[in-house]
Structures are given as C-alpha cells and as structure tokens.
Amino acid sequence: MVVFSNLVTFAMQENIEQRYTIKFCVKLNKSATETFASLTEAYGDATLLRTMVFKWHKAFKEGRENVEVDPRSGRPNSSTNDQNVEVVRAVMAKDRRLSVRMIAEETFNHTFYKDVLERL
C-alpha cells in the first residue's frame, strides 16, 4: 500500500510540475501545440494528455494563476483511505485464503471494498 501511495503522490507532483511548465510557456507566448511538444520532449510517456495540456494552456492564457485542480462536488474518484484499508486488512487477517469477492461480501459496501482490494 505504501508503494501505491508513493506512486500516486509522485504522479500528482509530476502533474503539478507540468502545469507550472504550461503556465511558464503561456508567459513566453508559446502556443498550446508548442507547449505540448516541449512537455512531450521533457516528460515522454508521462506527459499529460494533449487535451489536458490544451485545457490548462487556455486557462492560464485567460488569466488563471492557480496550478492546483479545483475541488469538485459529488462522489470522489476514490474513497480509499487508511480506515477503509484497515477494514479490508482485518478481514484478510482472519483468513488469507478468501477471494476478493468473499472479502467484499464480508464488508458493508461490497463494491467499494472490492475496489480497495484490487488496489492493494
């Protein structure tokens, strides 16, 4: 779980870094196409999607200053947190031979905990 968490944190930091780069390119009056080409050269396969680069480029060109993603309402993309992971681990500690489906059935929210298990 720590490795997964570290990878997510690294990816998020890299995305923020790329957004700063996009903002910098806007200040240099580079086009969105030129910005995407520069990012691709620097980050290779880890480059943001082209549509995201163009979206952020437009936002910065229109005066946006913040590189952080705006909070959204509604259900989060993931509800994986320490408490939920501990619930799954406790069920697994009882019987290591349980399948993902069986562990999901042992918990309250079957779909959610199945998702947590698949991420472990």
74 in a domain, yes or no? no
pTM of the model: 0.56
Find tokens 């969105």 and name the residue.
32
Residue-number span of the structural domain to which 110 is assigned:
82-119
Separation of alpha carbons 111 and 115, rounded Å: 6
Q: Which amino acid type is present at position 78?
A: S
pLDDT of the residue at 2: 47
104 in a domain, yes or no? yes
Contact criterion met (CB below 8 Å) for 38 and 53: no
Find tokens 């390119």 and name the residue.
25
Statement to judge: residues 56 and 88 lie in one domain? no
**For every one of its 120 residues, what pLDDT tens digit does the chain have, with 9 covering 90 and above?**
444 445 445 556 778 899 999 999 999 999 999 999 999 999 898 899 999 999 999 999 999 999 888 777 766 655 666 766 777 777 777 777 777 777 667 665 555 555 666 666
